[in-house]
Amino acid sequence: MSRSIDIAPISGALGAEISGIDLTQGLTPDALKTVKKAFLDYHVIFFRDQENLTPDRQKAFGQLFGSLNVHPYVAGMSEHPEVMEIIKEPEDKLNFGGGWHSDMSFQEYPALGSILYAVEVPSYGGDTLFSNQIAAYEALSEGMQTLLEGLTAVHSASREHSARGASAQSRKSMQAVEAENAPEFEHPVIRTHPESGRKGLYINPAFTLRFSGMTKRESKPLLDFLFDHARDERFTCRFRWRPNSVAFWDNRCCWHYALNDYPGERRHMRRVTVNGDRPI
């Protein structure tokens, strides 16, 4: 007998928990259709109790949505380069992803989505926040929307993955390289989602350096306003991790933030990232 699938929103802004699906066994066509619709409707979806989700099975789930990314600056697993182990040891001060961002926006073809699996979680803390960038755009005034339409912004890993950037810091259980000369790519400030057709903000504090054709100083006041607006609590949800939980978020319209509030404890996650298309 097949299990019934239930979808329960976790906030009014975005996010839903899906029960009745076992990712370790693969998905039926009907289940996949349900998951894809929930992904578009809620922008980030969660699954509990996915015990022993192996790297192979996690990759297989990601490949239902597209090809998989190999991170250019952070080493993946030796036998699974597409699977990045995100580990914070008790003695580590900084975590990975500890600031609002959209994964891989620094690439010419940024990520479609990211699939994060909890192997080991701290006894408290370590939640992940998400923010809906479609809702953030729609809450802007008509005048601001008009101002931003047609603008592009420069994205690069050169700051976050530089010698001083949090993502390139030495960690006992993660291997990262510095990206001082990382390439720059221009993406529209207002992105049209390729599947839903809805418009959303497509900038983020980690990887957006400036508006195209402007200096960093000229860009800063408006970028700071947009960053503050985009992380307003009314656009967000918060996910409390348990071992064997999975989160799958849409980087085309979401920010996320891994909280670093569990000093002296260990957190071990595995991430698979699905490649996307060029933003328009």
Contact 208, 201 (CB under 8 A): no
**59 in Cβ contact with 82 (< 8 Å):** yes
Is 271 a catalytic site residue? yes
Annotated catalytic residue 103: yes
The answer to whether 270 is a known catalytic residue is no
Q: Which of 71, 80, 103, 231 is labelled catalytic?
A: 103
The answer to whether residues 257 and 97 touch, using CB atoms and an 8 Å cutoff, is yes
> Which element (helix H / strand E) includes 47?
strand 44-47
Q: 171, 187, 193, 271: which one is catalytic? A: 271
d(CA 203, CA 130): 14
In 98-245 the beta strands, taken as DSSP E runs, fall at 111-120, 128-132, 152-156, 184-188, 190-192, 199-201, 208-211, 236-239
266 is catalytic: no
Q: Which of 256, 266, 267, 270 is catalytic?
A: 256
Q: Considering the candidates 71, 101, 159, 187, report the single residue annotated as catalytic.
A: 101
The one-letter amino acid at 166: A
Provide the annotated active-site residues: 101, 103, 256, 271
